[in-house]
Amino acid sequence: MLRADINELLTQTGPKTPMGELFRQYWMPACLAEELPEDGCPPIRLKLLSERLVAFRDSYGNYGLIDEFCAHRGASLWFGRNEEGGLRCPYHGWKYDTTGQCLDVPSEADNSSFAANVKLTSYPLVKIGDVLWTYMGDPATQPPLPEFEFALVPPEHTYTSKRWQQSNWLQAFEGGIDSSHVTFLHSGGLKTDPLFKGAKGNEYNLNDTKPFFEVADSDGGLFVGARRNAEDGKYYWRITPWVMPNFTMVPPRGDHPIHGHFWVPIDDENCWAYSFDNHPVRPLTREERQAMIDGHGVHSENIPGTYRPVANMDNDYLMDREAQKRGEYYSGIKGIAIQDSSLQESMGPIVDRTKERLVPADSGIIKARAKLRKAALALRDQGITPPGVDPAHHHVRSAAVVLPQREAFLDAARDDVKVKPGMPVASV
């Protein structure tokens, strides 16, 4: 169980909360680059860490993330006109640039300095890879830009999607470091999903339903090792890195692209699951990219024009009891991402962790919660910069390796969990 006060601490990420302040130490995905496809395109509304914001790309190509509401009388700037060099509120014509600076208040006299004194809250918005990243903390402590491999490889090597999840970020994230559910919930996908199937490691996964977990600290968070039996007295290790606070990677399978997630709080009852695939050595094939677009692997099929999955809470995730019975999908739900979201959303928007019953297979989750709590309190009480802020901490990879029994997983695989640009991942 988790004490009620700690459950609140870890799940509340609004302004001035300890976890909210922790999240505001990091660069994280604000939206996909495809959402602002060209200079002067329509603005988008988005909520992050319980703050309502508008993202836009001005006529010169500058990206901005500013308070959603006009400083005048609080109308939403989503209705705004994206004009030359700024977003103009259609109510009374106040106009703002990408830094939130008011440029024009048409009702004022021509020589008025009124507009110069009006500035909306704004955060930087930077394109790296397929993602627009923001930093919502104190400008004085803004860290260098993030260096996650999936965003730095050539564009043809990578694909990122996102989906709205109707649950708190923590229960979504906890699924990302919990390898033991894969053998059950995703067992159908291991055999049939075009982005998963065919790897030797899948056999170890399916044959050993009682993985042993070992957790090791990393500079930026943790490596969670899940050990299953392989042949000849060897062990199959699936190593999941977590970079604080909300980046996880899935251990690879064969030569398939390597994938992972960012779990970004929208507010305390909703989050974005960003799902990426990348191949460090070669471009994604046409078939792989199409499979990702179609919602295979870690991706989801979304309602066109939105980031809400087609299979969602309102239609019971298109539950198929016949497929469940046949074993085609273990839970009766199609697709790896929706298999996860259906169960995580079923817990309620913020699961009551005082009622949970943890087992040794949850050791990664226990350790991650402890690290999050310690980092949030150390930041609040002593101003200590948390792990994962330093871009050097981002240079991690997941790995799936067969190791001799007597070797400690991280000693044997230390090189395998580091990013080596252009070099293949360690995967069976």
Stretch that binds another protein, among 1-9, 105-113, 140-148, 174-182 (CB under 8 A): 1-9
> For the chain, percent helix, then strand, then coil, each to nearest 5?
30, 25, 45
Nearer to another protein, 55 or 365 (CB): 365
Nearer to another protein, 242 or 307 (CB): 242
Nearer to another protein, 1 or 392 (CB): 1
Nearer to another protein, 74 or 360 (CB): 360
Binding to another protein (CB under 8 A): which residues in 370-389?
370, 373
Helix (H) or strand (E) holding 26: none
Residue 19 touching another protein (CB under 8 A)? no
Residue 3 touching another protein (CB under 8 A)? yes
> Do the beta carbons of residue 279 and residue 317 sit within 8 Å?
no
Nearer to another protein, 118 or 361 (CB): 361
Distances (CA, A) of 351 to 10, 11, 230: 12, 10, 36
Nearer to another protein, 104 or 214 (CB): 214
> Do the beta carbons of residue 146 and residue 289 sit within 8 Å?
no
- How far apart CA 131 and CA 154 sit, in angstroms, is 13
- How far apart CA 177 and CA 196 sit, in angstroms, is 18
SS3 assignment, position 247: strand
Helix axis angle, 363-382 relative to 169-176, nearest 10°? Answer: 130
Nearer to another protein, 358 or 392 (CB): 358
Provide, rounded to whole angstroms, the least separation between the CB of residue 138 and another protein: 28
Residue 408 touching another protein (CB under 8 A)? no
- How far apart CA 412 and CA 242 sit, in angstroms, is 19
Provide, rounded to whole angstroms, the least separation between the CB of residue 364 and another protein: 11
Which of 94, 253, 251 is closest to 261 using CA atoms? 251
Provide, rounded to whole angstroms, the least separation between the CB of residue 363 and another protein: 6
What value, to the nearest 5°, has the Cα angle with vertex 344 and ends 266 and 309? 65
- How far apart CA 157 and CA 380 sit, in angstroms, is 39
Provide, rounded to whole angstroms, the least separation between the CB of residue 231 and another protein: 27
Instruction: Pull the structure tokens for residue 291.
Output: 């499979």
Stretch that binds another protein, among 139-147, 194-202, 281-289, 366-374 (CB under 8 A): 366-374
- The residue within the footprint of another protein, chosen from 281, 366, 408, 423 (CB under 8 A), is 366
Stretch that binds another protein, among 2-10, 59-67, 171-179, 225-233 (CB under 8 A): 2-10
Which of 256, 271, 267, 101 is closest to 171 using CA atoms? 271
Site string for another protein, 335-364 (x = CB under 8 A): ----------------------xxxx-xx-
SS3 assignment, position 233: coil
Provide, rounded to whole angstroms, the least separation between the CB of residue 180 and another protein: 12
The footprint of another protein (CB under 8 A) covers 1-3, 6, 357-360, 362-363, 366-367, 369-370, 373
